[in-house]
Amino acid sequence: MSDEMTLYLQVWRQKDSKSKGGFQNYKVENVSGDMSFLEMLDMLNENLAREGKDPIQYDHDCREGICGACSCMINGEAHGPGKKTTTCEMHMRHFNDGDAIIIEPWRAKAFPVLKDLAVDRSAYDKIIMAGGFIEVKYGNAPEANSMMVGKEVADFAMDNAACIGCGACAAACPNASAMLFTAAKTTQLSLLPQGKVESKKRVQSMIKKMDELGFGNCTNERLCEAACPKGISIISIARMNREYMGTLLKSDY
Amino acid sequence: MSSVFKKYIVAASGLFLTLFVLGHSAGNSLMLFSSEMFNRYGHALITNPLIYLIEFVVVAIFLTHVFFALKVTFENWSARGDVGYKKRVNKDSNLISFAASTMPYTGAVIFIFLVLHIVQFKYGAYYEITYAGTIMRDLHRLLLEYFPAPLNAIGYIIAMVVLTFHVLHGLWSITQTFGVNRSMYNKLFRNIALGFALFVLVIYVTFPVWGYLQGVK
Amino acid sequence: MSGEIKKLDSKQPDGPIETAWDRHRFSLKLVNPANRRKRKVLVVGTGLAGGGSAAGLAELGYQVEAFTILDSPRRSHSIAAQGGVNAAKNYPNDNDSIWRLFYDTLKGGDFRGNEKSTYRLAQCANSIIDQAVAQGVPFTREYAGTLANRSFGGVQVSRTFYARGQTGQQLLLGVYQSLMKEVGKGKVKLHTRKELLELIIVNGRARGIITRDLVTGELEKHYGDAVIIATGGFCKTYYLSTNAMASNGAAQTRCWKKGAYMANPCMTQIHPTSLPVMGAYMAKQTLMSEALRNDGRIWVPKKKEDKRDPNTIPDDERDYFLERRYPSFGNLAPRDITSRAIKQAVDGGNGVGPTGVAVYLDFKDAIERDGYDKIKDKYGNLFDMYKHIVNESPYETPMRIYPTAHFTMGGLWVDYNLQSNIKGLFVGGESSYEYHGANRLGANSLMSAMTDGAFVLPVTVAGYLGETFATLEKVDDTHEEFDIGMKVVQGRIERLMNIKGTRTPDQFHRALGKVMFDNVGIERTEKKLIEAIESIKNIKKEFYADLMLAGDEKMNNELEKALRVEDTIDLGLLMARDALERRESCGAHYRMDFVDEDGEAQRDDENFQHVAAWEYQGDDTEPLRHIEELVFNSIQPSKRSYK
| A46 and chain C in contact, CB less than 8 A | yes
From chain C residues 373-412, the ones with a CB under 8 A of any chain A CB are 388-391
C33 contacts on A by Cβ (under 8 Å): none
Over residues B40-64, mean pLDDT: 95
| A102 and chain B in contact, CB less than 8 A | yes
- Chain segment C336-350, per-residue pLDDT in tens: 889 999 999 999 999
Task: Look at the alpha carbons of B84, B88, B93, B98 in this order and tell me if their dihedral is positive or negative.
Answer: positive
From chain C residues 316-335, the ones with a CB under 8 A of any chain A CB are none
Which pLDDT belongs to residue C171?
A: 98
| B13 and chain A in contact, CB less than 8 A | no
CA distances in angstroms from C181 to A136, A165, C176, C188, listed in the order given = 10, 17, 8, 9
| H/E stretch holding C406 | strand C399-408
Judged against a pLDDT cut of 60, whether residue C409 lies above it is answered with: yes
- Chain segment C532-562, per-residue pLDDT in tens: 999 999 999 999 999 999 988 999 999 999 9
Domain contains B137: yes
Tell me whether residues A241 and B76 touch, CB distance under 8 A: no
Domain contains C345: yes
B90 contacts on A by Cβ (under 8 Å): 223, 226
Which pLDDT belongs to residue C289?
A: 85
Over residues B112-141, mean pLDDT: 93
**Residues 6+ away with beta carbon under 8 Å from C20:** C12, C13, C116, C119, C120
| Same domain, yes or no: C395 and C276 | yes
Looking up residue C366, the CATH number of its domain turns out to be: 3.90.700.10
Which pLDDT belongs to residue A149?
A: 96
Find residue A77's DSSP bridge partners: A74
Kindly report the backbone phi and psi dihedral angles of residue A199, in degrees, each rounded to the nearest multiple of 5, phi listed first: -60, -35
Q: What is the DSSP letter of C419?
A: B
| A88 and chain B in contact, CB less than 8 A | no
Domain contains B85: no
Domain contains B66: yes
Mutate to test the interface with A, among B1, B4, B97 (most CBs of A within 10 A): B4
| C491 and chain A in contact, CB less than 8 A | no
Domain contains B84: no
Domains assigned to chain A: 4-115 (3.10.20.30), 122-139+146-249 (1.10.1060.10)
- Residue B126, classified by CB atoms within 10 Å of its CB into exposed (0-12), middle (13-18) or buried (19+), is exposed
How many domains would you assign to chain B? Answer: 1
CA distances in angstroms from A134 to A143, A159, B46, C227, C287, listed in the order given = 16, 18, 59, 27, 32
Tell me whether residues A226 and B173 touch, CB distance under 8 A: no
Domain contains B116: yes
Tell me whether residues A16 and C72 touch, CB distance under 8 A: no
Domain contains B161: yes
| A235 and chain C in contact, CB less than 8 A | no
- Containing structural domain, residue B15: 3-77+97-216
Phi-psi region of C359 (alpha: psi -120 to 50; beta: other; left: phi over 0): beta
**Amino acid identity at C443:** A
C83 contacts on A by Cβ (under 8 Å): none
**Amino acid identity at C634:** S
| A133 and chain C in contact, CB less than 8 A | yes
Domain contains B83: no
Tell me whether residues C166 and A162 touch, CB distance under 8 A: yes
Tell me whether residues C142 and A151 touch, CB distance under 8 A: yes
Q: pLDDT class for B217, splitting at 50, 70, 90?
A: low
Tell me whether residues A34 and C56 touch, CB distance under 8 A: no
Which pLDDT belongs to residue A1?
A: 41
Which of C405, C421, C445 is the last residue before a domain boundary?
Answer: C405
- Residue C618, classified by CB atoms within 10 Å of its CB into exposed (0-12), middle (13-18) or buried (19+), is exposed
A136 contacts on C by Cβ (under 8 Å): 131, 134-135, 178
| B103 and chain A in contact, CB less than 8 A | yes
| C551 and chain A in contact, CB less than 8 A | yes
Q: CB of C129 within 8 A of CB of A144?
A: yes
How many domains would you assign to chain C? Answer: 2
Looking up residue B133, the CATH number of its domain turns out to be: 1.20.1300.10
Closest chain C CA to residue A132: C177
- Chain segment C201-260, per-residue pLDDT in tens: 999 999 999 999 999 999 999 999 999 999 999 999 999 999 999 999 999 999 999 999
From chain C residues 224-253, the ones with a CB under 8 A of any chain A CB are 242, 244-246
Torsion from C-alpha of A77, A82, A88, A92, nearest 10 degrees: -100
Tell me whether residues B81 and A219 touch, CB distance under 8 A: no
| C173 and chain A in contact, CB less than 8 A | yes
Domain contains C436: no
Looking up residue C580, the CATH number of its domain turns out to be: 1.20.58.100
What mean pLDDT, rounded, does chain C reach?
A: 94
Judged against a pLDDT cut of 70, whether residue C2 lies above it is answered with: no
| B187 and chain A in contact, CB less than 8 A | no
Could you give the 3-state DSSP secondary structure of residue C405? strand
Over residues C153-168, mean pLDDT: 89
Task: Look at the alpha carbons of B160, B161, B167, B170 in this order and tell me if their dihedral is positive or negative.
Answer: negative
| A189 and chain C in contact, CB less than 8 A | yes
Q: Do chains A and B touch (3 or more CB pairs under 8 A)?
A: yes
- Chain segment C454-493, per-residue pLDDT in tens: 999 999 999 999 999 999 999 999 999 999 999 999 999 9
Instruction: Compare C375 and C228 and report the one with higher pLDDT.
Output: C228
Judged against a pLDDT cut of 60, whether residue C375 lies above it is answered with: yes
Domain contains C316: yes
Which pLDDT belongs to residue C543?
A: 98
Kindly report the backbone phi and psi dihedral angles of residue C159, in degrees, each rounded to the nearest multiple of 5, phi listed first: -125, 10
Among the partner-chain residues C138, C177, C548, the one whose CB lies closest to the CB of A154 is C138
What does each of the 253 residues of chain A score in pLDDT, given as a tens digit?
446 899 999 999 999 999 999 999 999 999 999 999 999 999 999 999 999 899 999 999 999 999 999 999 999 999 999 889 999 999 999 999 999 999 999 999 999 999 999 999 999 999 999 999 999 999 989 999 999 999 999 999 999 999 999 999 999 999 999 999 999 999 999 999 999 999 999 999 999 999 999 999 999 999 999 999 999 999 999 999 999 999 999 877 7
Tell me whether residues B179 and A238 touch, CB distance under 8 A: yes
Which of C405, C435, C466 is the last residue before a domain boundary?
Answer: C405
- Containing structural domain, residue C574: 480-603
Among the partner-chain residues A68, A147, A192, the one whose CB lies closest to the CB of C74 is A68
Q: pLDDT class for C639, splitting at 50, 70, 90?
A: confident
Domain contains C322: yes
| B95 and chain A in contact, CB less than 8 A | no
3-state percent helix, strand, coil for chain B, nearest multiple of 5 = 75, 5, 20
How close is the nearest chain B Cα to the Cα of A63, in Å? 23
ipTM above 0.90, yes or no: yes
